[in-house]
Chains A and B, each alone.
Chain A
Amino acid sequence: MFGLITRRLLTAIPTLLVIILASFFLMRLAPGGPFDGERPLDQTTQAALQQAYGLDRPLWEQAWLYVSRLVQGDFGPSLVYRDFTVSELIAQGLPISLMLGGLAIVLALAIGVTAGLFAAVRAGKAADKVIMMLATVATALPTFVTGPALALLFGLWLGLLPVSGSGDGAAWLIMPVVALALPVSGAIAKLTRAGLASVLKQDHIRTARARGLSETKILFKHGLRPALVPVASYLGPAAAGLLTGAVVVETVFGLPGLGRYFVQGALNRDYPLVLGVVTLYAALIILFNLFADLIYGWLDPRMREE
């Protein structure tokens, strides 16, 4: 297991480097720059700014400088939020984004696995069909529809939950987390249902049944773990989707998470900010995929061999 972790972390370094360089050059290919506004700056100011931030140097030199500073933990200054470094902006936004994403994953797992389990036990019956239909609907609805719809219903009409922004307590978290979790929970429900349906047909379930165990015990002790293997392989990409999906939800609910900085940074050509967020996202995605692989090995010990 330690072998797997070290190997994954070592291969993560070149992967990250490729992602950083690709984003760096792609961003520079896009027209415009950080100091182009509606009222163009005069030539000398423009040049002075370019020089101050090192944007007048050759592109490869800038890339090299960026990477070498990154290695020392320096994400550079923000070009648009002039008084902040990128590290400071990330430090502000990351906790909110992580909290949203983390809670959403937990909620999606809880809803999805429970619903999938219930549907698999009632396979072919009305409950199964209703659950699977709801799961399809949940997967199909984008967060920019469910988010405002939730805000309208629970925030404006019923007045139960705050419509936007963060505050004391946890009430402000409920709607954004639910909006984020819904599509993922639908997918997890379908995967759990399909996984269980195939596992419950396998020989070892018959062996457990031959021991006269109760159906509940057969389901939870012998059936559930191998059935969750497809769910685990979905979790890595899903976690990534929750981070990027959070961009929409943060905008809808007016939360100062990373997503907002990401979108605004891209629109403003705030190169260091966008690169910083991309690097962070990439690192998190690699980490989540590693977690998913470790969960794999726990779910099915045969996977530990490769």
Chain B
Amino acid sequence: MSLYEIGNLAVDIAGTRLVEDVSLTVEPGLCTAIIGASGSGKSLTCLTPFGLTPGIATGSIRLDGIDLAGADADQLRDARRRHTGFIFQQPLTALTPHLTVGAQLQEATMQAGSARPSRSELVQKLERVGLSRPDERLDQFPHRLSGGERQRVMIAAAIAHSPKLLIADEPTSALDASLRAEIMDLLDQLRVEQGLGMLLVSHDLASIEGHADQLLVMDKGRVVETGPTADVIANPAEDYTRRLISATPRLDEPSPKLAGPGDELLETRDLGVEFNRPGWRRGIILAVANAAIMIRQGESLALVGGSGSGKSTLGRAIAGIGPVTRGKILWRGGALPERRQRTLEMRRLIQPVFQDPVASLDPQWQVLDIVTEPLRNLRPDLTRTEREDLARQALSDVDLAKDFLTRMPASLSGGQAQRVAIARAIIAAPQLLVLDEATSALDPLVGAEILKLLHRLQEENGLSLLFITHDIAAARRLCHRIAVMDDGRIVETGDLQEVIDNPRHAATQRLVAAS
């Protein structure tokens, strides 16, 4: 008998069937994973049988011999309380902000009816998930911890009452690549040690490969393919699975063909960005120190680093949307002044694209207004009709139909929104795009298409790209060279393939190993 078994599961929300005919089993000590794009119903499949979504689950659901299919709210609550642990995607928001780590861990330990744990027991639980200075952490509030630390607390709390089943809904999606690998390894260890069965949900092949025993591929609420993980990845039977696998960038895939770069376009010399320490503590934070990077015409430079490494701050400084404390930015050998002194022409040359496409579009504006906004400011010489012609051209450049001009951002999917954001960036004919994690928030299939689009735009228009990311494998599809950042400094630069083959700095080695 399996630990957890669902058969012919269907999930309805408000009369609409969103998941249909899903069957899976989870065995003690093993991991079953569900992979799929957002909206494929994978989270609903995991959480609805336990009453954690507004949906209604029908089908057969058995947890450790108990039938959950017809269970009422109290029985479901009991099933969560005693036998199941949950890990959610957003470690930033999944912990209660006004309760200390210790208080929440204590609550989790006692949820299945255990006695109040002693402080040293709580310390042990935090040590077990690899949290440094556990004693101190117990009295801290969640917002004082980093994303990775919070996710460790979340894991410690999820297994504190010794559950039999662990349900992990995108446990690593909000973390950067090297943390992602660490957290997945930790989950593997705990699973084996405690004989936990795990149901893992992800949109990301990298956090499943090598960690899950069984794999279900879901699309549009249905299971597309299922089988042992290694088999499915090595020999995908279905077209959707094949596309999903080929969309996920890997370091061992063949190198892409990249156009040869031209003359030097942009250079930073000893660029530094400092911030005042927040709060009443005195002192400054060196977000970027002595950064020297160079980009040629038609070349893509990958700026890679973990979260907090200063890569976005450097990108913002170059794009003229963030502060520069010291150092110089040179454009074709001439100095590029700080943002307020840049002329319209200079501003036009460098355009940014951001991580969250939906949040970076004004929800009250039509796509037409969004896309032409740079022109209204940067090209006051154009008439309204000229602007609209250019907008149509920009939309066709990013493979969107003309009728998108009248759409509102809320009606766009993530990939469409990112295309609109790219159209907005290229409409004023810039020479350098600063792409800040432009594909990180997208599903692999959509992200791969955006990478292709950027590659094409670069070839056709001789655009230069500064591709800021934590994912070396994604950068490899697009970039000629790489600059690795760690703790505000550029620690390694060079030809992308050479750096991947021979990473010298520890930070680079971590990033390569995590890809």
A210 vs B80: C-alpha distance when bound (angstroms): 6
Flag B77-111 by CB within 8 Å of A: 1 or 0 each: 11111101010101001111111000000011001
Q: Which residues of A contact B78 (CB under 8 A)?
A: 212
Q: For B107, what are the chain A residues with a Cβ–Cβ distance below 8 Å?
A: 211, 213, 221
CB-contacts of A19-75 with B (<8 A): none
Residues in chain A near residue B278, CB distance under 8 A? 305-306
In the complex, are the beta carbons of B141 and A302 less than 8 A apart? yes
Determine whether the beta carbon of B80 is less than 8 Å from that of A301. Answer: no
Tell me if A207 and B97 are in contact (CB < 8 A).
Answer: no
Q: Is the CB–CB distance between B98 and A210 below 8 Å?
A: no
Contact between A222 and B96 (Cβ–Cβ < 8 Å)? yes
Of the residues B80, B94, B108, contact of A204 by C-beta under 8 Å: B94
| Assembly CA distance A301 to B50 (angstroms) | 31
The answer to whether A203 touches B98 (Cβ under 8 A) is: no
Chain A residues with Cβ below 8 Å from B80 are: 209-212
Chain A nearest Cβ from B281, distance in angstroms: 10
Within the assembled complex, what's the spacing in Å between the Cα atoms of A207 and B97? 12
Q: CB of B279 within 8 A of chain A?
A: yes
Decide: A202 near B52, CB < 8 A? Known: A210-B86, A302-B141, A305-B278.
no
Cβ of A212 and Cβ of B81 under 8 Å apart?
yes
What is the CB-to-nearest-CB distance from B196 to chain A, in angstroms, rounded to a whole number?
16
> Could you say which of B81, B97, B280 contacts A211, with CB atoms under 8 Å apart?
B81
A202 to chain B, nearest CB (A): 6
Q: Which residues of A contact B143 (CB under 8 A)?
A: 301-302, 305
Contact A203 B97 (CB under 8 A): no
Report chain B residues within 8 Å CB of A214.
Answer: 77
Q: In the assembly, what is the distance between CA of A210 and CA of B160, in Å?
A: 13
Which residues of the partner chain A approach B279 to less than 8 Å between Cβ atoms?
Answer: 305-306
- Contact A212/B77 with A206-B52, A302-B143 known, Cβ cut-off 8 Å: yes
Chain A nearest CB, measured from B421 CB (Å):
26
A302 touches B97 (CB 8 A): yes
A279 to chain B, nearest CB (A): 30
How many cross-chain pairs have Cβ atoms below 8 Å apart between A and B?
70
- Give B94-137 interface residues, CB cut-off 8 Å to A: 94-99, 107-108, 111
Chain A interface bracket (under 10, 10 to 19, 20 to 34, 35 or more) = 20 to 34
- Interface residues in A197-230 by Cβ distance below 8 A to B read 202-204, 206-214, 221-222, 225-226
How near does chain A come to B96, taking the closest CB pair, in angstroms? 4
Complex-state Cα separation, A212 to B93, whole angstroms: 18
A219: shortest Cβ distance to chain B, in Å? 12
Q: Tell me the A245-295 residues at the B interface (CB within 8 Å).
A: none
- B52's partner among A210, A226, A300, A305 (CB-CB below 8 A) is A210
* Minimum distance in angstroms from B411 CB to a CB of chain A: 23
Closest to A229 in B: B98
Known A-B contacts A212-B81, A302-B141, A302-B143; A207 and B95 likewise in contact (beta carbons under 8 Å): yes
Among residues of A, the one whose C-beta sits closest to the C-beta of B161 is: A211
B-chain residues with CB within 8 Å of residue A206 when the two chains form the complex: 52, 88, 94
- Determine if B81 and A204 form an interchain contact, defined as CB atoms under 8 angstroms apart: no
**Distance A302 CA – B100 CA, assembled complex (angstroms):** 12
A12 to B50, CA, bound (A): 54
B82 touches A212 (CB 8 A): yes
Whether A96 sits at the interface, judged by CB under 8 Å, is no
Residues of A with C-beta under 8 A to B86: 207, 210
Q: Could you give, for residues 300-328 of chain B, a 1 whenever the CB lies within 8 Å of some chain A CB and a 0 otherwise?
A: 00000000000000000000000000000
Q: Compute how far the CA of A211 lies from the CA of B50 in the bound complex, rounded to whole angstroms.
A: 11
Output the least CB separation between B167 and chain A (Å): 8
A299 in the interface (beta carbon within 8 A) = yes
State A213–B112 Cα separation when bound (angstroms).
10
Contact partners of A306 in chain B: CB under 8 A? 278-279
Q: Are A203 and B94 in contact (CB under 8 A)?
A: yes
Which chain A residues border B50 with CB–CB below 8 Å?
210
CA distance A209 to B73 in the complex (A): 11
Q: How far is the CB of A226 from chain B (nearest CB, A)?
A: 6
Instruction: Give every chain B residue within 8 A of A204 (Cβ-Cβ).
Output: 93-97
Cα–Cα distance between A171 and B306 once the two chains are bound (Å): 67
Task: List, in ascending order, chain A residues with CB within 8 A of B52's CB.
Answer: 206, 209-210
- Bound-state CA distance A222–B98 (Å) is 8
Min distance, Cβ A220 to any Cβ of chain B, angstroms: 12
Question: Is A213 a contact partner of B111 (Cβ separation < 8 A)?
Answer: yes
**B111 touching A203, Cβ below 8 Å:** no
| Chain A residues in 8 Å Cβ range of B98 | 225-226, 299-301
Residues of B contacting A299 in the complex (Cβ-Cβ under 8 angstroms): 98
A212-B81, A226-B98 are contacts. A203–B280 as well, Cβ < 8 Å? Answer: no
Contacts of A207 in B (CB 8 A): 86, 88, 94-96, 154, 157
Q: Which B residues lie within 8 Å of A213 (CB)?
A: 81, 107, 111
Chain B residues positioned under 8 Å from A209 (CB to CB):
52, 80
Nearest-neighbor residue (CB-CB) of A208 within chain B: B96
Contacts of B94 in A (CB 8 A): 203-204, 206-207
Complex formed: what's the CA distance from A305 to B143 in Å? 10
CA of A100 to CA of B108, assembled, Å: 44
Complex Cα gap A221–B82 (Å): 20
Residues facing A in B41-86 (CB within 8 A) are 50, 52, 77-82, 84, 86
Measured between C-beta atoms, what is the minimum distance from A211 to chain B in Å? Answer: 5
Q: Collect the chain A residues with CB atoms within 8 Å of residue B97's CB.
A: 204, 226, 300-302
Smallest CB-CB separation from A203: which chain B residue? Answer: B93
| Interface status of A3 (Cβ within 8 A of chain B) | yes
CA distance A306 to B79 in the complex (A): 41
Contacts of B111 in A (CB 8 A): 211-213
A302 to B77, CA, bound (A): 30
In the complex, chain A residues whose CB is within 8 Å of the CB of B154: 207
**In the complex, how many angstroms separate the beta carbon of B79 from the nearest chain A beta carbon?**
8
Which residues of B have CB within 8 Å of A203?
88, 90, 93-94
Q: How far is the CA of A280 from the CA of B410 in the complex (A)?
A: 52
A142 vs B50: C-alpha distance when bound (angstroms): 50
Question: Residue of A at shortest CB range from B107?
Answer: A211
C-alpha gap A232/B42 in the complex (Å)? 40
In the complex the two chains form, what is the Cα distance from A121 to B114 in whole Å? 29
User: Which residues from 93 to 117 on chain A have a C-beta closer than 8 Å to any C-beta of chain B?
Assistant: none
B207, chain A: closest CB distance, angstroms: 20
Chain B, 354-397, contact with A by CB distance < 8 Å: what is the 0/1 string? Answer: 00000000000000000000000000000000000000000000
User: Please, how many angstroms separate the alpha-carbon atoms of A293 and B47 in the complex?
Assistant: 39
Q: State in angstroms the CA–CA spacing of A157 and B248 once bound together.
A: 80
Least distance between B464 CB and chain A CB atoms (Å): 39
**For B82, what are the chain A residues with a Cβ–Cβ distance below 8 Å?**
212
Q: A2 CB to closest chain B CB, in angstroms?
A: 10
CB distance from A124 to the nearest CB of B (A): 13
Q: In the complex, what's the smallest C-beta–C-beta distance from B130 to chain A, in angstroms?
A: 20
Flag B10-49 by CB within 8 Å of A: 1 or 0 each.
Answer: 0000000000000000000000000000000000000000
Instruction: List 9 contacting pairs A-B, 8 Å CB cutoff, sorted by A.
Output: A203-B90, A207-B95, A211-B111, A211-B157, A212-B78, A213-B111, A226-B97, A226-B98, A306-B278
8 closest cross-chain pairs (CB), A and B: A212-B81, A210-B86, A203-B93, A212-B80, A301-B141, A204-B96, A203-B94, A211-B111
Q: List the interface of chain B (C-beta within 8 A of A).
A: 50, 52, 77-82, 84, 86, 88, 90, 93-99, 107-108, 111, 141, 143, 154, 157, 278-280
Given A203-B90, A222-B99, A302-B143, 18 more contacts at CB 8 Å? Answer: A202-B93, A203-B88, A203-B94, A204-B95, A204-B97, A206-B52, A207-B96, A208-B96, A209-B52, A210-B80, A210-B84, A210-B88, A211-B81, A221-B107, A301-B141, A302-B141, A305-B278, A305-B279
